[in-house]
């Protein structure tokens, strides 16, 4: 079940569209392996679409943890804005 959690939301790619289910099943058997998930979907036009995705999960990249400053208060934001405005006024 853990493997499915990691693959949840990963996009599927279309392999092809077939008129009959046995044709789609033959294509599915040709694609199926340990590193690929394959499924057959019936479309509203009564054709069958073979879809696949990789079941290999890449290693998760972790971001370097930066020390986070506490969130600014409204008054702190106002003071910063006033200081920027004052500096801009002096520049002109």
Q: What is the structure's pLDDT at 9? A: 74
> And the tokens for 63?
């971001």
Q: Left if phi > 0, otherwise alpha if psi is -120 to 50, otherwise beta: which for 53?
A: beta
pLDDT tens for each residue of 15-64: 999 999 999 999 999 888 888 889 999 999 999 999 998 887 776 667 66
- The continuous run of DSSP H or E covering 86 comes out as helix 74-91
pTM over 0.75, yes/no: no
pLDDT tens for each residue of 67-86: 777 888 999 999 999 999 99
Q: Supply the DSSP string of 5-39, one letter for each residue.
A: HHHTTPPPEEEEEESSHHHHHHHHHHH-BTTEEEE
Q: What is the structure's pLDDT at 64? A: 67
Q: What is the structure's pLDDT at 25? A: 93
pLDDT-derived band at 2, boundaries 50, 70, 90: low
pLDDT-derived band at 1, boundaries 50, 70, 90: very low
Q: Which of 38, 58, 40 is nearest to 49 (CA)?
A: 40
């Amino acid at each position: 079940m853990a493997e499915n959690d990691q693959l949840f939301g990963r996009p599927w790619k279309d392999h092809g569209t077939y008129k009959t289910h046995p044709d789609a099943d033959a294509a599915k058997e040709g694609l199926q392996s340990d590193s690929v998930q394959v499924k057959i979907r019936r479309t509203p036009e009564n054709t069958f679409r073979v879809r696949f995705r990789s079941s290999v999960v890449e290693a998760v990249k972790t971001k370097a943890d930066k020390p986070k400053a506490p969130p600014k208060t409204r008054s702190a934001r106002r003071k910063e804005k006033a200081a920027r405005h004052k500096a801009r006024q002096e520049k002109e």
